[in-house]
Amino acid sequence: DAGVIQSPRHEVTEMGQEVTLRCKPISGHDYLFWYRQTMMRGLELLIYFNNNVPIDDSGMPEDRFSAKMPNASFSTLKIQPSEPRDSAVYFCASSLGLTIQGSEQYFGPGTRLTVT
């Protein structure tokens, strides 16, 4: 298996533009997670899905952020409009089950977003 695939790996955009980050989870994994990593705040969970349904989006910073999972093999995280403070590395992860059951989360390589 190719692991979790994210695209693009790097994104540079201007403030106010729409940004879409993409993720393909490992086949057969029922859970998909979006994280954001910054020096100031560390690794934060933004939202997670179970069987394509959003379960908890309490980590989404504000209405400018939205995430979808139209099918089991694809998810997007959209920021509209983007702001400089959104600059971070965004990780997608997937797992068979929940970590409280001992399931491992497999992380993608991340998308480094820079908003100027």
Extract the tokens encoding 114: 């820079």
Q: Where are the beta strands (DSSP E) in 57-110?
A: 65-71, 74-79, 88-95, 106-107
Task: Select from 18-26, 41-49, 66-74, 75-83 the region that touches other proteins (CB under 8 A).
Answer: 41-49
Which of 4, 47, 46 lies closest to 25 in space, CA to CA?
4
Name the residue nearer to other proteins (CB basis): 58 or 71. 58
Task: Select from 21-29, 39-47, 61-69, 80-88 the region that touches other proteins (CB under 8 A).
Answer: 39-47
Instruction: Give the C-alpha separation, 84 to 116, whole Å.
Output: 6
Task: Select from 20-28, 63-71, 76-84, 104-112 the region that touches other proteins (CB under 8 A).
Answer: 104-112
- Nearest approach in angstroms of CB 16 to other proteins is 28
Which of 83, 103, 87 lies closest to 95 in space, CA to CA?
103
By CB under 8 A, tell whether 25 contacts other proteins: no
Task: Using the CB atoms, write b or e for 76-106: b if 16+ within 10 Å.
Answer: ebebeebeeebbbebbbbbbeeeeeeeeebb
By CB under 8 A, tell whether 91 contacts other proteins: yes
Size, binding site for other proteins by CB under 8 A: 22
User: Where along the sequence are the contacts to other proteins (CB under 8 A)?
Assistant: 4, 42-43, 45, 48, 55-56, 58, 91, 93, 98-102, 104-110
